[in-house]
Chains A and B, each alone.
Chain A
Amino acid sequence: MATATVPAVEREDYLNKEYGIASWLLTTDHKRIALLYLISITFFFFIGGFFALLIRLELLTPAGDLVQADTYNKLFTQHGQVMVFFFLIPSIPAVLGNFLIPLMVGAKDLAFPRINLLSWYLYIIAGMMMVHCMLTGGVDTGWTFYTPFSTAFSNTKVIEAGLAIFVAGFSSILTGLNFVVTIHRMRAPGLTWSRLPLFVWAHYATSIIQILGTPVIAITLVLVVAERALHLGIFDPKLGGDPLLFQHLFWFYSHPAVYIMILPSMGVVTEIIPCFSRKRVFGYIFVALSSIAIAVFGFLVWAHHMFVAGISVYAALVFSILSYAVAVPSAVKVFNWTATLYKGSIHYSAPMLYAFGFVGLFTIGGLTGLFLSALGVDMHVHDTYFVIAHFHYIMVGGALMGYLGGMHFWWPKISGRLYPEAWARLAALIVFIGFNLTFFPQFILGYVGMPRRYYQYPPEYQVLNVLSTAGATVLAVGYLLPMIYFLWSMRYGKPAPDNPWRAAGLEWMVQSPPTTFNFAEQPVVTWEAYNYDEIDKGYKEEPQLVG
């Protein structure tokens, strides 16, 4: 157990260097900003999760009996908006990416620390606008804002919600910009692109999407707001505008946005699997390039959300075939992760359990994506619960699983404390079971025909809905547990050694928690990424991991 002796005297680190509200709210330290993000996105996660639970409770019975129809519509709209724009998109990049990228590239901070702080403030302003919008009536357009419903028919607070997401978009853009510049300009000597952790590669790819995709949704929302306020006609068919143009512009961002959520998670998993297999990652260059390929191809497929919306048959064919192009690099990643396990020395630590969960659930999510990009099948399952199940497998089974795995993996580094391993393994198991129970029935529900966004439904769909609601309850427990034991560990957890997992990477060579400027002197990298063979040989005694 005792891999490193923990000094008795408390060392100075980024957490205990300064105290007081101002030292946090005016900090430019990427690690403190990451924690600010952690607190804020956790807040939004539980708001969004609360909405999800209400949705599932309403769907327990076929009749609309728990809430009003309008309330239900607001619940699923704001569940989507909060989870997508205020939790999933910032989750891994703004918390783990923010904390780890400077450490991983051997820099003292991100390239633009003040812009990093600005980005958090923009997020908070956007979040407060969203909360205000919810408290004063909410919005019921669906997170997709489809026109002309959003511009001419909804009588809820579309403008405020649109502006909130507009502002949140700039927060996301600035994060991506900061990452790209940091990765290009701040790498330690010797840290070539082929030695870069794949977590960093994944964030580089994510940033490309944030930089080039987000402005398009921003301008689209400006147009929606203008259309709604002034009735210009750009998206209003009554005035000669095309509602499908809105959908094109919306999905140009919102499809790649899925990759903003999943790519960082893939990055996390690519760190965890080699570490707990004690192996170099299988096919480093293919995993790295597949991240970039996903980011680029991700921009070519957006109209597969519109196969039944009334686009031309020709366009449908083009977008269907391109959709399969993006499936290839995703498949390559799954195969490489699996191959990394081969002949490894595998430890079942909590982060690894999350990584296993991720690979399994992402596989199912990805494969069901093939159904949806097949034109003939999409015609039937589009806008049904099949789609809901598919994207929750990607976003919750994939992105959120990766986020939790990453939180466990780096928690000792972030907090300087160890979480209770047994509880963490239990939570991973509960999440996996609860998740599948919640969302697998929805695949069947979708294929038998239950449309999404239905507040009441024909009675024959009840059994599957009850299963799903039951699963959601289990899932909720699975999500509450880590929050409880993470908080517990901050006070009562055992102090973490600097490198509890004997993991590779610069972030593990500094103390836990790191000092404000991370590195006392500029590190020089002379080794390849994931050199677990060298690490394990370096230890005289048996490699023993914490947990």
Chain B
Amino acid sequence: MSDSQAVVPTAAHEDIHRPALLHHFATEEQQRDASNLGMWIFLATEVMFFGGLFCAYLIYRHWYFGDFGAASKSINALLGGVNTAVLICSSLTVVLAIWAAQTARRGMMLAMLALTMLFGLVFLGIKGVEYRDKFDENHVPGASFSFEKVPIPSHPDQYANPQHAQIFFALYFIMTGLHALHMVVGLGIFTWLFWMAWKGRFTPEYYTPLEIGGLYWHFVDIVWIYLFPLLYLIDRHP
């Protein structure tokens, strides 16, 4: 296994002023590698966190495929698609912000961070519209849930079982809801990053927080890349 071990600090090291270096690390390199690995491992945790939901989804989609199709068809796939594109654009602005930090383009870095947050807000806005539609249609699981006489896409002569459709919507709301929660957390992180960038904390030598925050943002993007076809596009074909 290849990892970096601590390096014995030399006198030369000690002389350099290193504002971002925490006391218990020997070098910036070590500190940066540690943060990077820490984030990746945290993302591993996140994968398993969503993994439990994907597992439940898989089982019930297998059992209640027709009902899932009917329920999925009632969600606005266009909005979902647009949201996918919005998140992809935000991922691009994140890498551009990091590139700007690497190449000392402060203005561009600030602009890209702001754009990322803007895309994030647009995503949440569209999500809100979707949720409102579902609320209006009484598709929110619970006491007022109603999914009567909705035909199954592949068997139009059959109606979906409302209970099974409710399981779909429960998974839909929990999965997209947790994803949206991650977006909100991401927006918080990026607000902080923007503030750090504004104060000039990032240099071509030190932009670790930007990288770490970026990893998180991209991960949230990847989750959505799977959620989109799994939730919006079941049994869509005519």
Q: Which residues of A contact B (CB under 8 A)?
A: 106-113, 115, 173, 177-178, 180-181, 184-191, 193, 211-216, 218-220, 222-223, 226, 230-234, 239-242, 245, 248-249, 252, 517, 522, 524
Whether a CB of chain A sits under 8 angstroms from the CB of B84 is no
Could you show 18 A-B contacts with beta carbons less than 8 Å apart?
A108-B23, A112-B38, A180-B37, A181-B38, A184-B1, A184-B3, A186-B25, A212-B48, A216-B48, A223-B53, A223-B56, A223-B174, A226-B170, A230-B141, A231-B141, A232-B141, A239-B167, A517-B24
Q: How far is the CB of B178 from chain A (nearest CB, A)?
A: 8
Whether a CB of chain A sits under 8 angstroms from the CB of B41 is yes
Residues A215 and B3 in contact in the complex (CB < 8 Å), given A233-B141, A517-B23, A522-B9: no
- B59 close to A181 (CB less than 8 A): no
- B8 close to A524 (CB less than 8 A): yes
- B170 close to A177 (CB less than 8 A): no
Q: Which residues of B contact A193 (CB under 8 A)?
A: 1
Q: How far is the CB of B142 from chain A (nearest CB, A)?
A: 5
Residues A216 and B49 in contact in the complex (CB < 8 Å), given A233-B170, A240-B164: yes
Q: Which residues of B contact A (CB under 8 A)?
A: 1, 3-9, 22-26, 30, 33-34, 37-38, 41-42, 44-46, 48-53, 55-56, 59-60, 63-64, 141-142, 161, 163-164, 166-167, 170-171, 174, 178
- A231 close to B142 (CB less than 8 A): yes
Q: Which residues of A contact B45 (CB under 8 A)?
A: 173, 177, 211-212, 214-215
Q: Which among A185, A223, A245 has the highest number of chain B CB atoms within 10 Å? A: A185
Q: Which of B1, B7, B24, B170 contacts A113 (CB 8 A)?
A: B24
- A234 close to B56 (CB less than 8 A): yes
Q: How far is the CB of B56 from chain A (nearest CB, A)?
A: 6
Q: Contacts A211-B45, A223-B174, A232-B167 given; 15 further ones with Cβ under 8 A? A: A181-B37, A184-B1, A186-B24, A211-B48, A212-B44, A213-B48, A222-B174, A232-B141, A233-B167, A233-B170, A240-B164, A242-B59, A245-B59, A249-B55, A517-B23
Docked Cα-Cα span, A331 to B56, in Å, equals: 35
Nearest chain B residue, comparing its CB with the CB of A522: B8
Total A-B residue contacts, Cβ distance less than 8 Å: 135
Q: Which among B41, B44, B164, B171 has the highest number of chain A CB atoms within 10 Å? A: B41
Q: Which residues of B contact A112 (CB under 8 A)?
A: 34, 38
Nearest chain B residue, comparing its CB with the CB of A244: B59
Q: Which residues of A contact B59 (CB under 8 A)?
A: 242, 245
Residues A226 and B167 in contact in the complex (CB < 8 Å), given A187-B6, A216-B49, A517-B24: no
- B24 close to A107 (CB less than 8 A): yes
Docked Cα-Cα span, A173 to B4, in Å, equals: 23
Residues A232 and B51 in contact in the complex (CB < 8 Å), given A186-B6, A188-B6: no
Q: Which residues of A contact B171 (CB under 8 A)?
A: 234
- B167 close to A180 (CB less than 8 A): no
Docked Cα-Cα span, A396 to B84, in Å, equals: 51
- A219 close to B52 (CB less than 8 A): yes
Q: Which residues of A contact B163 (CB under 8 A)?
A: 233, 239-240
Q: Which residues of A contact B50 (CB under 8 A)?
A: 219
Docked Cα-Cα span, A234 to B142, in Å, equals: 12
Docked Cα-Cα span, A299 to B73, in Å, equals: 36
- B52 close to A249 (CB less than 8 A): yes
Q: Which residues of B contact A522 (CB under 8 A)?
A: 6, 8-9, 26
- A215 close to B52 (CB less than 8 A): yes
Docked Cα-Cα span, A185 to B30, in Å, equals: 7
Q: How far is the CB of B209 from chain A (nearest CB, A)?
A: 13
Docked Cα-Cα span, A230 to B50, in Å, equals: 20
Q: Which residues of A contact B63 (CB under 8 A)?
A: 242
- A240 close to B23 (CB less than 8 A): no
Q: Which residues of A contact B9 (CB under 8 A)?
A: 522
Q: Which residues of A contact B55 (CB under 8 A)?
A: 245, 248-249
Residues A186 and B42 in contact in the complex (CB < 8 Å), given A233-B166, A522-B8: no
